[in-house]
Amino acid sequence: MALYKTANSFFQEQFGQKVYKLALDGGFTCPNRDGTVGVGGCIFCSAGGSGDFAEKPCGDVAIQLARAKARVAGKMHGNAYIAYFQSFTNTYASVDRLRAIFQPVLEDPSIVGLSIATRPDCLPPETIALISELNKIKPVMVELGLQTIHEETARLIRRGYPLSTYDKAMADLGKIGVHIITHIILGLPGETP
Ligand code: SF4
C-alpha cells in the first residue's frame, strides 16, 4: 500500500478528471530576498524564485496561460488545468493587486482551480479573506514552503520565519476551508529519517 497519496490521484478525485498544473509567474518578489526578512533568500532558492519551470513573466498572465497550455498540449487529454502561481511569494502584494491577477484567471472556463505558492508570513487577514472569496468561485489551494519543522534547520536554510508562523497560517487557512499543500525537503543536513 502506498504511504502517501500522489498529487495526481488527489486531483483526479477532486476534479473527476486528469488536470494539469500550469506553472505561472505573477511578477512577485519575496520578503526573504528584498530585504524585508532577508536578502539572500532560502539557500536552495534559484534566481527564478524556485519557479524555474514556470512561464516567464511578460506582464500578461493570459499570455502565460496560453503559452503554458501550448506547452502541455501534446500530452494533454481533456481541457482542465490548475493555474499554479509558483515563482517567488505569490501573496506578497496588496489585496487589490492580488485580486487583479487571480480573478481573471478563474474566469477562464478551462481553469478548474487555483494554486498559490507562498510563505506563511505573507498571509495577513485581508489576504486570507481574498483567498476565501476566490475559493467560492473555484477551488483554491495554498502551497506553503515549510521545508522543515526544525528551527535549527530552518536557520541553516535561511527560511526566515519560525514554525509558529506556519502553525498560525495553517489555522487561518483551515478556517476558510481551502486545500493546503505543504512543501517539505527530505534529508536536510542533520535531520534523521
Ligand atoms: S520563500 Fe520561496 S521565493 Fe522566497 S527565498 Fe525562499 S524559496 Fe525563494
Q: Mutate which of 34, 88, 92, 121 to test ligand 1's pocket (most atoms within 8 Å of Cβ)?
A: 88
Q: How far apart are CA 38 and CA 31, in angstroms?
A: 7
Q: Which residues contact 186 (CB under 8 A, 6 or more apart)?
A: none
Residue 165: alpha-carbon gap to chain centroid? 17
Which residue ranges have their beta carbon within 6 Å of ligand 1? Answer: 30, 32-33, 41-42, 45, 49-50, 88-89, 119, 145
For the chain, the structural domain boundaries read 19-184
> Is the CB of residue 137 less than 8 Å from the CB of residue 108?
no
Answer whether residue 58 shows pLDDT above 80.
no
DSSP class of 53: T
Answer whether residue 35 shows pLDDT above 90.
yes
Q: Calculate mean pLDDT across residues 18-45.
A: 95
Answer whether residue 78 shows pLDDT above 90.
no
Of 10, 2, 23, the C-alpha closest to 180 is: 10
Q: Percent of the chain scored above 70 by pLDDT?
A: 99
Task: Say which range, 59-73, 126-140, 159-173, has the weakest mean pLDDT.
Answer: 59-73
Average pLDDT along the chain: 93
In tens, the pLDDT along 106-156 reads 999 999 999 999 999 999 999 999 999 999 999 999 999 999 999 999 999
Q: Percent of the chain scored above 90 by pLDDT?
A: 79
Answer whether residue 55 shows pLDDT above 90.
no
- Largest pairwise CA distance in the chain: 47
Answer whether residue 1 shows pLDDT above 70.
no
Answer whether residue 103 shows pLDDT above 90.
yes
23: its cell numbers: 506553472
DSSP class of 150: -
Q: What pLDDT, on a 0 to 100 scale, did the predictor assign at position 50?
A: 79
Q: What pLDDT, on a 0 to 100 scale, did the predictor assign at position 20?
A: 93
Q: What pLDDT, on a 0 to 100 scale, did the predictor assign at position 76?
A: 78
Nearest-atom index, ligand 1, CA of 46: 8
Q: How far is the CA of 87 from the centre of ligand 1 (A)?
A: 8
Long-range CB pairs of 55-61 (<8 Å, 24+ gap) are 55/22, 55/23, 55/24, 55/25, 56/25, 57/25, 57/26, 57/27, 57/87, 59/27, 61/24, 61/26, 61/101, 61/104, 61/105
